[in-house]
A and B are shown apart, each in its own frame.
Chain A
Amino acid sequence: MSLTKPSLAQTVLKQFWFKLKSLAGMISSLIMLQLIGLLFALGASSNFYTGSDGVFDLQISYYSADLVVVFTMLWGFISAITMKTKAYREDDFVFVTNRLSSNLSNIAYLLAASVIGGVTAILSGYLLKVVIYLLFESTPIIHTGLTDSLVELLSGMLAASLFIFMFAGAGYLVGTLVQLHKAFTYITPVAVIGFILLSDRISDGHLLAEVGEFYFNEASLWLLSVKTLVTAGLLLAGSIGISQRLEVKT
C-alpha cells in the first residue's frame, strides 16, 4: 500500500467536518441553554414612575433577549473547556492528526459555533416577542426594540458572535491549562476570582468596570472586532503553545 502524504490544511479540513458531527452534543446544549434563557427572559425588568400631581402611575416592563445572549456566551465558555477534556480531545488521535491540526480544527469549530450561537441568540429576540405577544395578558407594544435596518441586525449578530468567540477562547485556554496539570482545575477559578477581588480593591472598584467598558461600550463595529479577535487570538495562541508538547493517551 502506498504511503500517504498528508497536508496540514487538508487534515484540518477533514477534522473540521469530523467535529461538526462528533461535537453534535454542543449544538444540542446550545438549543437547550437558549430555550432556558428564553424562559427566564419571559420575566421582564420593570421600571416604575409616578407622575407629578399624582396624575399618573406609570409602570413600564422591559423585555429583551439579553439573557439568551449571556447564556450563549456562557455556553461558548463551557463548551470550549469541554472540548479539552479527555473524552473529547483524544478523539482526534484515533485518526490522523498532530497537535497543531487538532487545535486549529477545534478553533475553526468554535468560530463556526460562535457564529451560530450569535445568530440564534439575536434571532431569539423575535421569538421572544411573539411568545410574549401571544401568551401574556397585557399586550406589549410589539414594534419596540427593533432594529432599523438589516445592517443593524447583522452587525448585532456579528457583535454577539464575537463576544461568544472571545469567551470560547477563554474557556479553551482554561481547558488547556487543566490538561497541563490537574491542579489548574481549582487554581484557575481561585486565581481569577482572587485577581478580580484584589484589583478591585486596589483600583477602587474601577478595574472591572473599565474592562467591561472596553468591550461592552465599544460602539464601532470595526474596533470591537479588532478588540475581541485580538483577545481571542491571544488566548487561543497561548493554548496552542501550551499543548504542543503534551502527551496523549496517558
Chain B
Amino acid sequence: MNVIKCTDLTKSYGQQKALDNLSVTIEENKITGLVGRNGAGKTTLLKILAGFWRVSSGEVNVFSRKPFDNLFVSANTMFVDDQMNFPTALTLKEILEQAGRFYDNWDMELAERLFDYFSFRPGQNYSVLSKGKKSTFNMIVGLCSRCRLTIFDEPTTGMDTAVRKDFYRALLKDYLAHPRSIIISSHHVDEVEEVLEDVLLVESGQKFLHMPIEDLKEYAIALNGPSEDVNKWRRDREVLHTKTAGNNTYAVVTNDFEQHELEQINLAGIDMSSVSPGDLCVYLTDRAKGGIDDVFDKA
C-alpha cells in the first residue's frame, strides 16, 4: 500500500521551479529519509504532502486523496518543523491537552513521561523556550500524536548531541511499537541513517534516487592509494569524487566491481573503504565543477 504517490509533481514560483516533474511512490509503514542540498526542494515537497501548499501541476496523493485542504489528510498527518507555532496563550501542558483532543491516537502517558524526561515545566510558555527546547517539544507532540503519516522537517534544529541521540532512539522505539509512515528530512544524514529504512535523494526539484539505505551504503566504494594505481581502476567507471594530494588520489566510484576485481585492488595496495550515505549524497549532487578548494586555489 502506498501512502504517498506523486506523479510529475511540479511547483513553480514564476519562472523558478522548486519541484520539477517529481515522481515518487512511498510505501506505508517505513521510515524514509528525505535528503538533499539546501534549496533542493525538500521542504516544498513536504509542505505539499502535508496539505499546506498547492501544486502547480502534476498529481499528488496522500492516503489516496489530494492533500491540499483535506480534513482526512490533516487528521492523519503530523508535520513537525521549526515553525510549529503553538498558540502563545497556552502553557506547554495545555498544548499537550489540546493535542490529545484533536488526535485520536494521542498517547498522553508517553507525552507526560517524555515531558518530564526532558525537564519541561507544565506552566512554561512555548515562546520563551530555546530553539533546542522548542524542537524537543515539537518532537514530543510529533511522536505522541501517532499519526499514520508523520513528517519531520529538520526536527533536530538546535538540539544538543545528547538530545539528538535521545530523539532518534525515542523515534525508533515508538515506531517499532506503533508502526506508521515516517519521513525525516535532515542535513545530518549520517546521524539519521541509523533509523532510516529508505532514502529519497532530491536535487533541483527532481528525484535523484530512491532506494533502501542498505543499497545506498553499498552504492559506492572509495579507493585511496597511489594515483596511477587508482587511476587504472577509474577507467570506464562513473567517478563521483576525486581528491588528489601529491602522489595520492582518493576516488569514489560506483561499486559495481566483481569479487575478483576487489581482490586485485586489495593486492595493489589500494585502500578500500565504504562511503557513508551522507558523503555519497553530497558527491552525487555536487553541482559545482570541483569543490570548495578550487574556489580558494584559483584565486
Contacts and interface: CB of A to CB of B under 8 A. Distances in A.
Interface of A: 1-6, 8, 11, 14, 17-18, 21-25, 87-88, 90-91, 93-101, 244-245, 247-250
A249 B83 contact: yes
Contacts of A97: 71, 74
B53 interface: yes
Nearest to B141: A94
Contacts, number: 88
Contacts of A244: 69
Nearest to A7: B71
Nearest to A100: B69
Given A1-B180, A5-B72, A6-B75, A91 B105 contact: no
B170 to A, nearest CB: 17
7 contacts: A4-B75, A4-B76, A18-B98, A21-B94, A23-B89, A91-B85, A249-B53
Contacts of B99: 95
B178 A1 contact: yes
A212 B143 CA distance: 55
Across the A-B interface, give the 10 residue pairs with the lowest CB-CB distance, nearest first: A22-B87, A6-B75, A95-B102, A4-B75, A98-B71, A96-B75, A96-B102, A4-B104, A249-B52, A91-B87
B90 A22 contact: yes
B63 A25 contact: no
B89 A87 contact: no
B148 interface: yes
Contact of A21 (B52, B74, B90, B102): B90
B52 A18 contact: no
A87 B87 CA distance: 8
Nearest to B178: A1
Contacts of A22: 87, 89-90, 98
A92 B40 CA distance: 28
Contact of A249 (B47, B89, B180): B47
A102 to B, nearest CB: 10
Contacts of A99: 69
Interface in B39-80: 47, 51-54, 63, 69-72, 74-76
B101 interface: yes
A248 B53 CA distance: 7
Interface of B is mostly: loop
B88 interface: yes
Interface residues of B, number: 35
B139 to A, nearest CB: 14
B71 A6 contact: yes
Nearest to A18: B98
A24 B52 CA distance: 26
A248 B105 CA distance: 25
Given A99-B69, A247-B52, A4 B105 contact: yes
B82 to A, nearest CB: 11
Contact of A95 (B51, B54, B69, B98): B98
Contact of B74 (A14, A24, A98): A98
A15 to B, nearest CB: 8
Nearest to B87: A22
Contacts of A6: 71-72, 74-75
B210 interface: no
B103 interface: yes
A245 B180 contact: no
B86 to A, nearest CB: 6
Given A6-B71, A99-B69, A100-B69, 8 more contacts: A1-B148, A1-B178, A4-B104, A6-B72, A11-B75, A17-B101, A25-B89, A93-B52
Given A2-B105, A3-B63, A96 B74 contact: yes
Contacts of B178: 1
B236 to A, nearest CB: 48
